[in-house]
Amino acid sequence: MSDEPRETDSGQSSEHPGSLWGTRFDGGMAPEMVSLNRSLSVDSRLWREDVRGSKAWAQALRRADVLNPNELSSIITGLEGVAHRIEREGFGAAEEEDIHTVVERMLLEEIGSLGGKLHTGRSRNDQSATGVRLFGMAACDRIREHLLTLCRALHELALRGLHLPMPGYTHLQQAQPIRAAHWALSHLFAFLRDIDRIEVAKDAAGVLPLGSGAVAGCPFPIDREALKDELGFRQVSPNSIDAVADRDWICDLLYTGAMVGVHMSRLSEDLVLFSSLEFGFVRLSDGFSTGSSLMPQKRNPDVAELARGKSGRLNGNLVTLLTLLKGLPTGYNRDLQEDKEALFDTCDTLEVTVPALAGAIKTAQFVPGKIESVMDSQLFATDLADYLVNKGVPFRETHEIVGRLVRLAEQSESPLNELSLDDMRREHEAFEEDVAEVFDWERSTEVRDTIGGTSLKAIQEQLEEVRAHEGKRVGLLFRSTRSALVDRLSYCNANWNALLCSRRFGFVLAGYALLGLSSVQFPLEAR
């Protein structure tokens, strides 16, 4: 009897069951190595991508005359059978080392030895890299939609806070009056940057490695451009060595995930503070709050706390991959098997956390009375200094004057706006009766009318920029309330019939159809 390892009917080595390479070795793999080597528990979720890539590869082999039409038909039918079996039965007690081996074994079971032709000219290096990229591009699309939903929720919250005063904070100390909409938009713009980043990550993922082989390319006349088009990639990888080793796109996606985590954490920290009894600015809905097993009065902002906590693991996944990649030599190395856990965990975390935070924001309500009750008159100290500047006093001098007035108010335990005119004139004779107008939040916000400011006009410009950002990418409008819709269509300034005749209104309707916002209430007339 020969001592050479034998192949089983599945095309796998009898000495190394579950592998595709065993005939090179004398003797079986050590049990400890089997456990270390196996990645099926992680990469099994890529079975759809593997089947899809294998179908495209079979088509490429046919175009290269490696397969005849009947062989192609049998392989495609067999792969569809594999997909149906996995959907119906799962993987059972599969002993293979990875998903690619499982799919190949099942294909051989479906159509016999013909299935062995499918791997012609293909390495698991380019096969695996292709499957992960297919997963990544689809994940980017899903995450982007979740981020858009969160942005829409923040947009709606901003509209609810458009005419609501709120303390603006620096160092967590009351600083200057703002509109509540300004605070909501500050978070929205951060997530819009994340949407830009997710698009960059998808673009980076859209480079096709299939056809690169293990390292040197494919010896068969494979039309990689046709493969690219069939699988939905944007370009073909230009270098086969780089193609099988490149994980930059995963770094881009994990960095984006980490930044989304940072932005979710900052928003969540605000929600935790603002929903507390001490602040009370925001009330989270019952659907996104929890209670206590002991204290019946508790209303815990767990959605925000959990989102804040998730940011740590998103940062960790990025560090994991960067550390994995930093010391690798040129070409594929088995270390790269570890890329998927970090990728999958980041995508899974975002796809659970972002929708939950979006739901919390969508159903959150400002508490105007509580917000207005905590607005201290010292918020207007800068306005008081600016008042003197407008009277011709140099700002550095006004800063010192108002600082002394603040100290006087604190020492007398009275609000800054209740100091008498005589008290103020003792510090500078430029103070007049009209100084009382300084202590008005609407006036304070309206004078801050520069781009990016907190005046009503500046905030409306920010809202337009948000809508332009969305419209630029998918032709949709951030519109979900009656007042917002009428504002966008104010140029029509007519009745319902005129709106229906408007081309702009047609674009709005198309946008809602794409968004699936079936619950939107359109106005009967523009007012």
Residues recognised as catalytic = 171, 292
DSSP string covering 49-102: HHHHHHHHHHHHHHHTTSS-HHHHHHHHHHHHHHHHHHHHHTTTT---SSHHHH
CA 190, 192, 193, 197 dihedral sign is positive
- Are the C-beta atoms of 485 and 491 separated by less than 8 Å? no
Taking the C-alpha atoms of residue 194 and residue 147, their distance in angstroms, rounded to an integer, is 8
The interaxial angle of helices 302-325 and 248-274, nearest 10 deg, is 160
CA distances from 119 to 39, 105, 180, 244 (A): 20, 12, 60, 16
User: CB-based contacts of 525: which residues, under 8 Å, 6+ apart?
Assistant: 495, 496, 499
Taking the C-alpha atoms of residue 182 and residue 186, their distance in angstroms, rounded to an integer, is 6
How many CB atoms neighbour CB 438 within 10 A? 21
How many CB atoms neighbour CB 363 within 10 A? 15
- Are the C-beta atoms of 255 and 318 separated by less than 8 Å? yes
DSSP code of 481? Answer: S
How many CB atoms neighbour CB 293 within 10 A? 7
How many CB atoms neighbour CB 27 within 10 A? 10
Taking the C-alpha atoms of residue 261 and residue 46, their distance in angstroms, rounded to an integer, is 25
In a 3-state reduction of DSSP, which class is residue 167? strand
- Are the C-beta atoms of 254 and 313 separated by less than 8 Å? no
- Are the C-beta atoms of 166 and 235 separated by less than 8 Å? no
Query: Which of 194, 186, 254, 227 lies closest to 62 in space, CA to CA?
Result: 227
Query: Which of 152, 213, 219, 157 lies closest to 467 in space, CA to CA?
Result: 152
